[in-house]
Structure 1
Amino acid sequence: MKDKAAAVVYDQIGAPRVVAKGEGEIARKIIETAELEGIPVQKNEGLVEALMQVELTKEIPPQLYRAVAELLAFIYKLDKAKSRPKS
């Protein structure tokens, strides 16, 4: 089975959009780029499979709102934890 990856952006205008997706080497490059940029990566094969069906730059369909909202909440928590001053 080939590796798969999808990237989603949410700019608080409309629904989140799929901005990158791919298999194999492209998937590895998406993950590598995210890690280099400090963008959190979450492994969720079911969500990736669903996002692979969404056209690039298109908003996610309503059926994926809940799953993507959970992903965004995960990222928000990570960002909040990073921004807390260490004691």
Structure 2
Amino acid sequence: MSRTHRRSAAALVYDAQNGEPAPRVVAKGYGLLAEMIVQRAKEAGLYVHEAPEMVSLLMQVDLDARIPPQLYQAVAELLAWLHRLESGAEDQPAHDANATAQDVTDVVATDVTSGSAAR
């Protein structure tokens, strides 16, 4: 199976309250490792977002590195999605992509097409 058809996952953490300038990639992998990342995230009650394009970009970021400025907008949109889920407004459009700046955020982006967001 080619790499483009294997499941992949990347996990981010962001703690703006402690002065982190940008989210960090704290886990990433393909195949069985991706399955384990998603499984552990769900077991820990973290959100899992299905975003193949996001995962593709995050897989290029070094492990434990902060995302580059080129990804700020895309990750801000992911964090806004998370904020809407947490506030119970997941069906409303995003008004402020930086809405989660005050929160510690853990999220896993995955390219799987089955299932839905989990917490």
Which of 73, 77, 82 is the matching residue for 1:70? 77
The correspondence for 1:56, drawn from 46, 60, 63, is 63
Establish whether residue 9 from structure 1 lines up as the match of residue 13 from structure 2. yes
Normalised to the residue count of structure 1, the TM-score between the two structures is 0.89
Q: Which whole-Å CA distance do the structure 2 matches of 1:46 and 1:77 have between them?
A: 20
Distance 2:41 2:9 in 1: 11
Deviation at 1:62, TM superposition (A): 0.7
| Structure 1 segments of 4+ aligned residues over 6 angstroms from their partners | none
SS of the equivalent of 1:69 reads helix
Note the C-alpha offset of 1:66. 0.7
CA distance in 2, matches of 1:78, 1:48: 20
TM-score computed with the length of structure 2 as normaliser: 0.66
Deviations 1:36-81 (A, max 9, x none): 1111111111110110000011000111101100111111111122
Q: What is the identity percentage for the equivalent residue pairs of Structure 1 and Structure 2?
A: 49
Q: CA RMSD in A?
A: 1.2
Partner of 2:112 in structure 1?
A: none
> As a proportion of its length, which structure holds more strand?
2
User: Greater helix percent: which structure?
Assistant: 1
**Paired residues, number:** 82
Of 28, 33, 36, 1:21 maps to 28
